[in-house]
Amino acid sequence: MQFSDLSLDQIILIIIVIFLLFQLRQRKFHLIRSMIVPGLMLVVTFFFVNMEMQGPLFNTIVLLGGGILGVFLGMIIARLTKLKIGKDGSLLMRGSFIAMGLWFLIIISKLYGQNYLNQLGLTSSLILSLFLMLSVSTMISERIFIYYRYLRNRKKWRERRK
């Protein structure tokens, strides 16, 4: 197989898998820095979602459901994320394979589930808004719950480390 035989979707999937694998390495967690990308995504998502919310009530229900599902996914991913306290007292985190699998399933369903979602009555702009809403709510809630876990458990982790 040559590089020219790959479709754009396959190249995008390969790049996404590489980025997801990078999430498995251990890194320092800073709440403010970790909210930069979700904050930018929130602005973009707001414009797409705002247009879709002006449509029928069905669109609003679908988007609110996506936001709520995203919060729950963020809680699950935060719970599965491995946290440690570094020697300097900083929070160290490492992603989990299950969390990366959830993200991969979301991305696959966006790329390859378009026809099925269209049959359910979801337009492509509504699907885009739904996945943006799902992604941004997952990212924000994941970071908030990770920081909450850190605040709740840091004394216990520090004592165990000594």
Which tops the pLDDT comparison, 116 or 139? 139
Question: For the segment 11-69, what is each residue's pLDDT rounded down to a tens digit?
Answer: 766 776 777 677 667 778 888 887 887 888 888 888 888 888 888 888 899 899 999 99
The pLDDT of residue 161 is 61
Residue 23 burial by Cβ neighbours in a 10 Å radius (0-12, 13-18, 19+): middle
The pLDDT of residue 141 is 92
The pLDDT of residue 152 is 84
Q: How confident is the model at residue 160 (pLDDT cuts 50, 70, 90)?
A: low
Quick one: which H or E segment has residue 83? Answer: strand 82-85
Structural domains of the chain, count: 1
In the chain, alpha helices (H): 8-22, 31-34, 36-53, 57-80, 97-112, 114-119, 124-161
Domain residues for the domain of 57 are: 3-161
pLDDT at 5 over 70: no
